Amino acid sequence: MSLTRRPRALTLDLDDTLWPVWPAIERAEAVLHAWLRDHAPATAAAFDTPALRAVREQVGREHPERAHDLSWLRQTSIARALAQCGDDPVLAEPAFALFMDHRQRVELYPDVPAALARLSAAFPVLALTNGNADVARIGLGAHFVGTLGARTFGLGKPHPAFFQAACAQLGCAPHEVLHIGDDWALDIEGAHAAGLPSVWVRRRPELTVPAPTAAQPWRIVADLQALADALDALPD
Contacting positions for Mg ion (CB under 5 A): 13, 15-16, 182-183
CB of residue 55 to Mg ion, shortest distance in Å? 24
In the complex with Mg ion, which residue's Cβ is closer, 66 or 203? 203
In the complex with Mg ion, which residue's Cβ is closer, 16 or 69? 16
CB of residue 56 to Mg ion, shortest distance in Å? 19
CB of residue 140 to Mg ion, shortest distance in Å? 15
Closest chain position to Mg ion (CB): 16
**Are 15 and 131 contacting, i.e. CB atoms less than 8 angstroms apart?**
yes
In the complex with Mg ion, which residue's Cβ is closer, 111 or 182? 182
In the complex with Mg ion, which residue's Cβ is closer, 69 or 87? 69
Maximal CA-CA distance, the chain: 64
CB of residue 18 to Mg ion, shortest distance in Å? 9
In the complex with Mg ion, which residue's Cβ is closer, 99 or 184? 184
CB of residue 14 to Mg ion, shortest distance in Å? 7
